[in-house]
Structure 1
Amino acid sequence: MVEIKLCNNVNQFIKVAFLTQGNDPNWVPPILMDIKKKLDRKKSSFLKHNEAEFFIAYKDGKPAGRIAAIKNNIHNQRYNKTDGFFGFFESINDQEVANALFDKAAEWLKSKGLNTMYGPTNYSTNDEVGLLVEGFDTPPFIMMPHNPEYYKELIENYGFKKAKDLYAWAYDPTLPINERLLELTDKILKRGKFKVRYVNLNDMKNEVDKIIDIYHDSWSENYMFIPLTEEEKKETVEFLASIVYPELVIIIENDKGEPVAFSASVHNLNEVLIKYRTSNLTLLNIQQLLALAYRLYIKPKNKFSSARLLLAGVKKSYRKLGLDLILYVKSHQNGARLGYKYGETSWTLEDNIPINEGIKKMGGRVYKIYRIYFKEI
């Protein structure tokens, strides 16, 4: 027998993932401080403007899955839609359990006047998004999802259809860059009188404001894009200030000194996090904090062997000038200089041909595919 219960206990909700994924060697437990804040109604920046309800499935009295039903008010206001979302989905390999979770999420969303369910999104496209459908043989990079392969069958058997695929690209910063691309980069910089600089870690608030201004302009027409709220901007400042080298955040300025393009890469913290997997959340929190503190602030060099390029953008009025190439080349060069052995660029939309072709030219290859689903409810 499957029973769905409302869950107001953050720790109980988190621990379901250890039940469903704890034996997968490629699964990485989330940073507990972050996930607890994200799920806490009083602390979550997303839930200050939107709504969500959390449910746990029990089979024969034991936890067997979880789901969040999400009402994204900012999305629906921006696009004049009545879309609902599901996220934080976990389930044992049992269609009855999965169906009961989706039924409960759909029921809650319909009670809010919504008629379509998209997901998984944890909570929006500014967060972890998509179901892993290809590339199960390696761990995810920081802030990217991972799930058992059977989730695809559970979701599609319920009647969900593909809405959009997202690509994660593997790249090798140790390989040399094509000389022709280096020459082209120099020509673009000289012709447009552009200047490349790195983020000023001592002025992160103002720097992040400039970066987010570019991000909002360049991504505004992207699939399901929603702008960051002021609370999310503050979190971005705190996050970037804690885990980046200046060379990982590249800013391109025009001849007037105005920022017009940027890229942001971060250490792949999952290299550390994957080593600590206990479901004792108190112990796990201590292990994570100590391990990350050592890597980030004490270990003298070669802190991480990999990085993720997680954001890049070029203002609309500066597109087709080759600035994206400059961002890729400089990120590659800086990654090699910092000692990274491998990296990921993620994510890109499957139908964003110009961006995908640019990554291919830099030697990137698609090695993981994530899928967003939808279903009328």
Structure 2
Amino acid sequence: MWRVVPANTKHQLKAFIDFPHKLFKGDPNYVPELFIAQRDLLTPGKHPFHEHSLVQPFLAYEGEKVVGRIAAVLNRNHNQTNQMQDGFFGFFDCINNQEVANLLFTQTAQWLREQGAKTMIGPVNPSTNETCGMLVEGFDSPPVVMMTYNKPYYLQLLEKAGLSKKVDLIAYQFKENYNERPFRMTKVLEERLERRGIKIRPINLKKFKEEAAQLREVYNHAWDKNMGFVPMTPNEFDYMAKDLKMILDPDFCMVAEHEGKIVGFSLSVPDINQILIKVKNGRLLPTGIFKLLLQKKKINGLRIIALGVLENYRKLGIEACFYGYAMLKFKEKKMKVAEASWILENNQLMNQGLLNMDAQPYKKYRIYEKAI
């Protein structure tokens, strides 16, 4: 009745990318992924992740009808960096049918075992440097840019397929009437940092390539103790930076510089999902591109997507300055809502810092695992 096959042809890849549009039809909180971005992410030779790792998409069929999808991922850089034999899954979407879900996970586990993996972890699409996590709390609003969304029944499908919680990821929300008190010290902190020779400034888009090279060094060192973190290759970081530059507002991308060297950065991006939610089936052509261009100025949401400081420069006030300036610009631009995401549940410093700023935890995502 049900069958699972590798999605290796162009036609199958199109079906793989388009399946969620049919599954989530009528769901007011569903945001379609851009077709061209998903196609490139899943195609060897198009995205630099494939230079070091393997991704095998699978489709589940009932007759000729697609009823589920999943991708098996062997992240060789992860295993080499962490001395592990992990396998991963991502891009999981499925009708509410346990048999179909079980077949998808069985096929994925078999493929991963053939590659030498002993565990199956996910969802990661295809790594923690891209979208990841299964939404487990906060189904009442759309996801912000580069965050995931799924049906509540997915949780039961995963757990009945034998997967269990590895770690939770928390998303915090600031609203327009946020408490300004924690941010009033920003200027004082900045002056104190300047006496140490540390300058806080916006990113220089005219020297974007040179800045991006330094940002990659900070990213790869500042996040190296995070769960599942894998340093990004130069090609991967350049690819991501090029994508982000298209939606970047330099007012929301700050760097900390010491003696000409970038030692920390904060990246916040306008919530472009407010526009993409209206782009039918993730196609920019023929009309989606106009929605993107004409409505960009109407975006009133922000995602604080990354904030990292090299270890020797932490607890000096740089992080507080980054948040302070982001919220200052948030107010200046009359934005309505900001999300800080995602933060590991066991990152006590970041979680407590956000709570101290009166940010509210409002969504929770989960990474699952299973021995295979």
TM-score band, normalised by the shorter chain?
A: over 0.9
| Amino acid aligned to 1:20 | L
1:257 shift after superposition = 3.2
Counterpart selection for 1:20 from 19, 23, 43: 23
Q: Are the aligned partners of 1:13 and 1:66 in contact in 2 as well (CA < 8 Å)?
A: yes
**Percentage of matched positions with identical amino acids:** 36
Partner Cα separation in structure 2 for residue 128 and residue 180 of structure 1: 29
Counterpart selection for 1:33 from 33, 36, 40: 36
1:189 shift after superposition = 2.8
Counterpart selection for 2:271 from 258, 268, 272: 268
What is residue 54 of structure 1 aligned with on the other side? 57
For the pair 1:316 / 2:311, whether they are aligned, the reply is yes
Give 3-state SS (helix, strand or coil) of 1:243's partner: coil
Partner Cα separation in structure 1 for residue 183 and residue 149 of structure 2: 37
| 1:211-290 equivalent positions in 2, closer than 5 A | 211-254=215-258, 256-278=259-281, 285-290=285-290
Q: 1:224 to 1:180 in 2, by over 3 A?
A: closer
1:290 shift after superposition = 2.3
1:179 shift after superposition = 6.1
Aligned-residue CA RMSD (Å): 1.7
Q: 1:173 to 1:121 in 2, by over 3 A?
A: same
1:258 shift after superposition = 2.4
Q: Are the aligned partners of 1:31 and 1:288 in contact in 2 as well (CA < 8 Å)?
A: no
Using structure 2 for the length normalisation, give the TM-score.
0.94
Q: Are the aligned partners of 1:20 and 1:65 in contact in 2 as well (CA < 8 Å)?
A: no
1:102 shift after superposition = 0.3
| 1:87-166 equivalent positions in 2, closer than 5 A | 87-166=90-169
Q: Are the aligned partners of 1:328 and 1:362 in contact in 2 as well (CA < 8 Å)?
A: no
| Amino acid aligned to 2:337 | Y
For the pair 1:74 / 2:96, whether they are aligned, the reply is no
1:126-174 CA distance string (max 9 Å, x none): 0101100000000000110000000000000111110010011111245
What is residue 353 of structure 1 aligned with on the other side? 348
Give 3-state SS (helix, strand or coil) of 2:44's partner: coil
Give 3-state SS (helix, strand or coil) of 1:204's partner: helix
| Amino acid aligned to 1:42 | G
Partner Cα separation in structure 2 for residue 180 and residue 80 of structure 1: 41
1:303-325 CA distance string (max 9 Å, x none): 41011110110100111212111
Between stretches 203-212 and 161-170, larger displacement belongs to 203-212
Partner Cα separation in structure 2 for residue 75 and residue 285 of structure 1: 36
Q: Are the aligned partners of 2:216 and 2:234 in contact in 1 as well (CA < 8 Å)?
A: no
| Amino acid aligned to 1:96 | E
What is residue 207 of structure 2 aligned with on the other side? 203
Partner Cα separation in structure 2 for residue 101 and residue 285 of structure 1: 32
For the pair 1:376 / 2:371, whether they are aligned, the reply is yes
For the pair 1:86 / 2:118, whether they are aligned, the reply is no
| 1:171-210 equivalent positions in 2, closer than 5 A | 171-178=174-181, 181-182=184-185, 185-186=189-190, 188-210=192-214
Partner Cα separation in structure 2 for residue 32 and residue 329 of structure 1: 36
1:203 shift after superposition = 1.1
1:166-217 CA distance string (max 9 Å, x none): 0111112453510675266356435534321101111111111121211111
What is residue 2 of structure 2 aligned with on the other side? 2
| Amino acid aligned to 1:39 | L
Gaps spanning 5+ residues in structure 1: where?
A: 297-301
1:111 shift after superposition = 0.8
Using structure 1 for the length normalisation, give the TM-score.
0.93
Q: Are the aligned partners of 2:169 and 2:343 in contact in 1 as well (CA < 8 Å)?
A: yes
| Amino acid aligned to 2:265 | F
Q: Are the aligned partners of 1:32 and 1:285 in contact in 2 as well (CA < 8 Å)?
A: no
Between stretches 138-147 and 335-344, larger displacement belongs to 335-344
| Amino acid aligned to 1:345 | A
Between stretches 141-150 and 224-233, larger displacement belongs to 224-233
What is residue 47 of structure 2 aligned with on the other side? 44
Q: 1:259 to 1:11 in 2, by over 3 A?
A: same
Partner Cα separation in structure 2 for residue 179 and residue 32 of structure 1: 41
| Amino acid aligned to 2:2 | V
Q: Are the aligned partners of 1:174 and 1:336 in contact in 2 as well (CA < 8 Å)?
A: no
What is residue 292 of structure 2 aligned with on the other side? 292
1:355-376 CA distance string (max 9 Å, x none): 1111112221111100000000
| Amino acid aligned to 1:253 | E
Partner Cα separation in structure 1 for residue 309 and residue 110 of structure 2: 41
1:80-123 CA distance string (max 9 Å, x none): 11100000000000000000000000010011111100010001
Between stretches 316-325 and 104-113, larger displacement belongs to 316-325
Partner Cα separation in structure 1 for residue 338 and residue 287 of structure 2: 25
